Amino acid sequence: MYKDIFRWMIAIISQPQRAWKSLARKEEKGDEFLSRFIYPLIGLLTLVAFLGVLFTRKEFDVELALKSSIKTLVSAFGGFYLASYLLNEVWYSLFKREKNMKLCQQFVGYSSSLMFAISMVLMLIPEFFFLRIFVLYTFYIVWEGAVPYMQIEEKNKVKFSAIATALIVLLPEIIGITLFMLMPGLRF
């Protein structure tokens, strides 16, 4: 299962145009996408957050590792579901399309691949903080998926890409910052 996840992540990051065309032809039943891609990926991200704190700090602090993994889990899940929901609403109101939550979840999940990969690397090797700039590449990933996967018209491609990228990139960060501010027990 993780082999397929990494294969799709690498394909989306390295060759988004070809990957989106393949994903558009891929049939997924029910919640298969969630159980075979998003949930394991967020679980792995949470595990990496836990291990990253344990092995990158001078002191061995399990409490700190648990706080980090909780913050990561809530930010990733909350960001994914909130971005999917808001994209679905924008999809309906702004682009006059029929609501399709499954499609929006899949698009947000696959488009978040780069962010998940960068987060994992930064949790294990925090000295590579400069990799955060590559999150901007998410715009290109969304841009390439707008037409073949979401069936957006060319005239709306820029607007859709900007809105979707903002939702995908900013919502997990906003949730993480909010957790940090509201819950002093999660500060580390």
Note the pLDDT tens digit of each residue in 57-106. 877 888 888 988 999 999 999 999 999 999 999 999 998 889 999 999 99
**For residue 187, is pLDDT > 70?**
no
Note the pLDDT tens digit of each residue in 108-150. 999 999 999 999 999 999 999 999 999 999 999 999 999 999 9
Q: Give CA–CA dist 114/143, Å, rounded.
A: 14
Query: What angle (nearest 5°) sits at the alpha carbon of residue 20, between those of residues 17 and 25?
Result: 135
pTM of the model: 0.92
Share of the chain above pLDDT 90, in %: 78
Report the helix count and the strand count for the chain, using DSSP H and E: 9, 0
57-66 long-range CB contacts below 8 Å, 24 or more apart?
64/188
Q: Give CA–CA dist 180/56, Å, rounded.
A: 20
